Amino acid sequence: MSAPTETTWVPVIGLEVHCQLKTASKIFCGCANRFGAPPNTLTCPVCTGQPGALPVLNDTALDLALRAGLALDCELASVSRFDRKNYFYCDLPKGYQITQYEVPFASGGGIELANGKHIRLTRIHMEEDAGKAIHDRGTHTLVDLNRAGVPLIEIVTEADMQSAAEAFEFLGLLKERLRFAGVSDCDMEKGSLRCDVNVSVHLPDEPWRTKVEVKNLNSFRHVRTAIEHEIARQISAYESEDPSRQPVQETRLFDVDSGTTRPMRGKEDEGDYRYFPDPDLVPVSASRERLEEQRRLLPELPAQRRERYVSEWRVGAREAAILTADRPLADFFEATVRALAENEGGAQAAAKWLTNDVLRIVGEQGTGSLSDMPLTPGQLARVISLVEGGELQRKGAQCLLARLITEGGEVDSLVVELGLAAVTDDGQLRAWCLAALAGRESVAAQVRAGNEKAIGALMGPVMGSSGGRADPARVRALLLELIREDGP
């Protein structure tokens, strides 16, 4: 067989995504589900695994899990159960993790990528999070159990992805759906979304080869880098035909600094979790009423919204994508459009103002998102109306929005207070134009000679004199008029 080239190898990629549910309390006890508290201040006998303490399922955790299942088009089991997964590690106080092994609450479902490829889900199960072990401080491993017992869902995909780019896109869409559904913040930095990947490569028409699991991926970028590295590593190992380099079934850790992966542990204990049904917890049912309620609470998902913005409101595809990146922004946009009486032009204007100016100004504040700022959809609609009505120029509107976003206030009184009202008085505009023409006879001559572009040199001074309150089209017309009147 001739040496295969890199392009002939087919990567096979599957993901396991852990996602913390947005509940007030933990999954089996009343301790707060909150990130960033001082260590071990959110714990109790249940989540620290004291003998005799009994877990009781948080019904909101169940509701959110079911809603996630609905958002991902899964089949939901009418009854699901909890099992114990046994292993010893310092972040797991009971010596077992409560999870769903035999009967997960959801199976099937999936997400479609932009290229039309359907990435199938194998299953989703509920489980409790483990605590946090810190290894890089002092001589001991330090354990914080605040996270122990935070509700999680684990989403397991089929190995349907073939490139790092597909995995990256899938994760983005998954995160978007879970966030829209109000199931989770999906904040990788805070660990509310975590991802492990399974990667193998094989030649076309040949069975799949050894699968390698990669952990320790704390950002989408790391996921992409790790997959790319792992694919390259496996291909190079197979092509080397060096027996000592052949990939083995193992778990590898991603090293952030080098962008490479390295073996984590031997496989001898892998998978020996001795699962058995947890006798402390009774089965839970997804009753019809419960499901109906969650279906009702499930908002229109981003893909549907994008479609509606483009087809009904004629918003550009790029703008629609930006607006649906997170739910508060999409909701803000829709409220603005409603305030503008839902006309097509209003929707297009709202989309432009939001994606160009509002998001830029919010970004310049450094921290916080639009929903943290005082600007309301009603105010944005009013600003847009003023611009459309010619009462406010673009420059003035930007200035006004900056003020509304950073400090808030009342639109019409701010227009007066900041002196932003558009100057529509031709007399005033003409005076500024004449002032600009004075001493710039050569420019006027160029324009008269047919070079209309030269007029740009006059626009600046006039717009400057007006403090951005003049309508550029009107200024241009007036300048042309004055130059021609004055001409030979």
Partner 1 sequence: MESANNHQVGPAANAGEAGPPGDGQGRNLVELVQRTAALARLELSAPELEEMAAQFGRILEQFAVLSELDVDAVEPVRGRAREQDVTRGDTVTPSLAPEKLLERAPQVEDGFYAVPKTVLRAGAEHDKGGSSALTPGEDRA
Collect all residues with Cβ–Cβ distance below 8 Å to 84 and sequence separation of at least 6: 96, 97, 98, 99, 275, 276, 277, 278
The residue within the footprint of partner 1, chosen from 6, 8, 32, 317 (CB under 8 A), is: 32
Give me the least distance between CB of 293 and partner 1, in Å please: 14
- Quick note: the x/- pattern for partner 1 over 190-229, rule CB under 8 A, is -x--x-x------------------xx-x-----------
- Among candidate residues 235, 177, 244, the one with its CA nearest the CA of residue 19: 177
Helix axes 394-406, 377-388, angle to 10 degrees: 170
Stretch that binds partner 1, among 20-28, 304-312, 360-368, 390-398 (CB under 8 A): 20-28
51-58: which pairs have CB atoms within 8 A and are 24 or more residues apart? 53/29, 54/280, 55/27, 55/28, 55/29, 55/98, 55/278, 55/280, 55/281, 56/28, 56/29, 57/27, 57/28, 57/82, 57/281, 57/284, 58/23, 58/25, 58/26, 58/27, 58/28, 58/151
CA 115 to chain centre: 20
152 lines the binding site for partner 1 (CB under 8 A): yes
The residue within the footprint of partner 1, chosen from 12, 13, 15, 62 (CB under 8 A), is: 62
Give me the least distance between CB of 366 and partner 1, in Å please: 24
The residue within the footprint of partner 1, chosen from 1, 136, 389, 449 (CB under 8 A), is: 136
**Residue position matching structure tokens 């913005």:** 309
Tell me the residue type at 326. D
Choice between 99 and 234, CB closer to partner 1: 99
134 lines the binding site for partner 1 (CB under 8 A): yes
Tell me the residue type at 325. A
477 lines the binding site for partner 1 (CB under 8 A): no
284 lines the binding site for partner 1 (CB under 8 A): yes
277 lines the binding site for partner 1 (CB under 8 A): yes
184 lines the binding site for partner 1 (CB under 8 A): no
Give me the least distance between CB of 292 and partner 1, in Å please: 16
144 lines the binding site for partner 1 (CB under 8 A): yes
97 lines the binding site for partner 1 (CB under 8 A): yes
145 lines the binding site for partner 1 (CB under 8 A): yes
The residue within the footprint of partner 1, chosen from 9, 76, 123, 127 (CB under 8 A), is: 127
The residue within the footprint of partner 1, chosen from 1, 114, 140, 413 (CB under 8 A), is: 140
Max CA-CA distance within the chain? 102
Give me the least distance between CB of 22 and partner 1, in Å please: 10
SS3 of residue 487 by DSSP: coil
The residue within the footprint of partner 1, chosen from 112, 118, 120, 142 (CB under 8 A), is: 142
The residue within the footprint of partner 1, chosen from 4, 75, 87, 464 (CB under 8 A), is: 87
Burial (0-12, 13-18, 19+ Cβ within 10 Å), 39: middle
293 lines the binding site for partner 1 (CB under 8 A): no
**Residue position matching structure tokens 């392009």:** 7
The two structure tokens encoding residue 325: 């990146």
The residue within the footprint of partner 1, chosen from 2, 3, 7, 38 (CB under 8 A), is: 38
129 lines the binding site for partner 1 (CB under 8 A): yes
Rounded-to-integer distance, Cα 410 and Cα 420, Å: 13
Give me the least distance between CB of 325 and partner 1, in Å please: 24
Pairing of the two strands 212-217 and 250-255? parallel
Q: Are 479 and 437 in contact (CB under 8 A)?
A: yes
Residues 398-437 that bind partner 1 (CB under 8 A): none
The secondary element (H helix, E strand) that includes residue 284 is: strand 284-285
42 lines the binding site for partner 1 (CB under 8 A): yes
- Among candidate residues 289, 347, 291, the one with its CA nearest the CA of residue 315: 347
Choice between 53 and 421, CB closer to partner 1: 53
156 lines the binding site for partner 1 (CB under 8 A): no
**Residue position matching structure tokens 């194998």:** 122
The residue within the footprint of partner 1, chosen from 61, 380, 392, 405 (CB under 8 A), is: 61
The residue within the footprint of partner 1, chosen from 4, 259, 263, 487 (CB under 8 A), is: 263
Residues 227-256 that bind partner 1 (CB under 8 A): 251, 253, 255
